[in-house]
Structure 1
Amino acid sequence: MDFLNRKAIKAEARAFIRPDRKWFSIFLAILPYVIVTNMFTVAYSVKAGADFSDGNYYQVQGSSWSFIGNIIKLLAIPFGMAAAGYMLNHIRGFNPEWKSLYIEGKDRFGKYFEVGFITGLVTLLWSLLFIIPGIVKAYAFSQVEYIIHDNPNLSTQDVRKISDLMTKGYKGELFIKDLSFFLWYMLILCTLGIAAIYVTPYMMTVNAMYYENLKNHAIEAGIVAPEAFGIVNTPADENNMQGFDMNSQPQFTGTATTYTPVQPADNGYQAPQNNMYQPPVNNAYQAPVNNGFEPVAPKAPEAPEAAENSFIPKQDSGFADDSNMEFNPAQRDVTVTEEPSEFDGNSEVNE
């Protein structure tokens, strides 16, 4: 677990934000988001803590402020997720402008809201069962905001699945990382929030560096494909792939090296084969293709030739006399034998 060396990552985070007071420029970039999402909560707390004679009125008014504050926080979800992407751009050396945070949140508002809201809802439902499962799921989905920044084309379910795979076996380390900021939280309380000017950028930097190391580990171990993070490799030949350089996205706990994609594990996900039904070949009559674009006239039916001794009647054009009909013995072999009739007068009757 050297790639998640907590002390080394935190030391590098402090070294990263120290030059030119970068921590201050980062805080100024997120300040509008912090003000908008917390001003109604602060106003409600002031109202709730004040002592007024007409308690019912201020109780209703305070509830209204709390409701408005919750609506504002829901609408600000995309900008909170864009802040994570803004921090990634910083540690990757892009030096983004402060307004890029809000431009990204606006341009991807629908996608970020869907991912953030559904992920929060799923975590809440797990928390309703027991506290511990809710905490586990919160850390399982802790990388969602960074993944969706790298690849906004992923579905909400895929983003959560990838985050779960990345953090599998490292949720305890993430929990200890958060506990290590306990004294910093106390400093914020003791200074009435002033220390947050430095602590907030510091924590954001550490979290972004943790994501980079988890992502690089997931790719190298064959747990998640590079394409899931928006990394597109261009095949150079049949055996090698080129297009991803670790120098462009530094790993903060070791020397940067050129990444070579590895084959996924045998027990990894395999796309199902296409066993869809294929219709049988139709051996029935196929109409001839007319490539001359001329209609083919159907052939007239031909009568079969008559047998040698078949009777062929003459065509009758009208009412003809029977005396004109001739019998052709060659056409039909007919033998007529006369037998005397018992009623013939010329016959003799033998008694």
Structure 2
Amino acid sequence: MNRAAIKEDAKSILNAHFSFFFLLFLPIFIIEVLIGWFGYGVFERPMVLTVWTNLNSLLSLLLLLLAAGIAFVCIDAMRQKLEYEQPLQKSFTIFINGDYFLGTLLIDILMWIFIFLWSLLLFIPGMIKSLAYSQAIYIYRDAIDRGERIGFLEAITQSRELMDGHKWELFVMQLSFLGWALLVVVTAGIAGIWVLPYSTLSFANYYNELVIQQNAEIAAKAKNITSNPSDSEKTD
């Protein structure tokens, strides 16, 4: 898979609609600032540590859910199915659709449990499984949009199958953003205004390309079966 082309397509869409994506990601930026602001100097005030821990957990969960919903929007953008309007409303996509919300929450919980258990063996197996399960919520969302009902475990299984032979490829793509992550740190988070949408669109495009490739392989196999019937079919 052409990693450079995937990222270039994402960059082109971001640059063409930057104001939309800035507002789309604005709730995430605000929550990240709040997490940093509330946590500043907290360990110097033990009395508020418990309150901060609970608040941080709540904000982190909210951040995770918002990020998933925004990734859904980015997938639509890469598929040219997105209307570039009402970005703030689209930021809360995950909460507008109950199936999206429940599926994302429970799949993330299951993934965390499985990855944690694999990590008890060694760090590497846990990392490999995190790559294998990485597309589960997107697969679940696509199934919901098609009107299909799949189980949470089935979505994880399909992700593992989709990522067969692609885990190293995804890992390398993740490494390709380390320089951008460093830029975000150096600029005290300011560069994240552009880098976060860029990376999210890139990984959304990566998922989209995986699905296209999988569908092409299925179609090719079906065509091969049709053009080369089994011996029993020939004798019939």
Into which bin does the TM-score normalised by the smaller protein fall?
0.7 to 0.9
Question: Quick one: which of 114, 118, 124 aligns to 2:106?
Answer: 114
**Residue identity opposite 2:165 in structure 1:** G
What amino acid is the match of 2:83?
N
Match of 2:83 among 84, 95, 108: 95
Tell me the SS of whatever aligns to 1:221: helix
- How well do the aligned residues superpose, as a CA RMSD in angstroms? 2.3
Q: Given the superposition, is the C-alpha separation of residues 107 and 8 from structure 1 closer, same or farther in structure 2, using an over 3 Å criterion?
A: closer
1:117/1:265 CA distance change after superposition, 3 Å = farther
Aligned residue among 222, 225, 229 for 1:263: 222
Structure 2 gaps of 5+ residues are 226-236
Query: Do the aligned residues in 2 keep the contact of 1:40 with 1:65 (CA within 8 Å)?
Result: no
Partners of 1:263 and 1:6 lie apart in 2 by: 28
Relative to structure 1, the CA distance from residue 184 to residue 65 in structure 2 (aligned partners, 3 Å threshold; closer, same or farther) is: same
Contact 1:84 1:204 in 2 (8 A): yes
Letter in 2 for 1:167: M
Distance 1:116 1:264 in 2: 36
Q: Do the aligned partners of 1:30 and 1:83 also contact (CA within 8 Å) in 2?
A: yes
Matched, 1:81 2:62: no
Structure 1 stretches of 4+ moved >3 Å = 75-78
Unaligned 5+ runs, structure 1: 53-57, 223-259, 267-351
* Secondary structure at the counterpart of residue 74 of structure 1: helix
* Structure possessing the higher radius of gyration over alpha carbons: 1
- Structure 1 residue aligned with 2:42: 47
* Greater relative contact order (CA < 8 Å, ≥ 6 in sequence): 2
- The aligned amino acid for 2:91 is L
- Return the alpha-carbon distance in structure 2 between the equivalents of residues 206 and 173 of structure 1: 13
* Whole-angstrom distance in 1 between the partners of 2:112 and 2:224: 31
| Matched position secondary structure for 2:92 | helix
Residue type matched to 1:26 in 2? F
Q: Give the equivalent residue in structure 2 for 1:17.
A: 14
1 CA distance for matches of 2:73 and 2:65? 12
Other-structure match for 1:321:
none
Q: Distance in 2 between matches of 1:193 and 1:151?
A: 35
Higher helix share: 2
> Following TM superposition, by how much is the alpha carbon of 1:179 offset from its aligned partner in structure 2, in angstroms?
0.7
TM-score normalized by the length of structure 2? 0.82
Q: TM-score, normalised by structure 1?
A: 0.57
Percentage of pairs with the same residue: 25
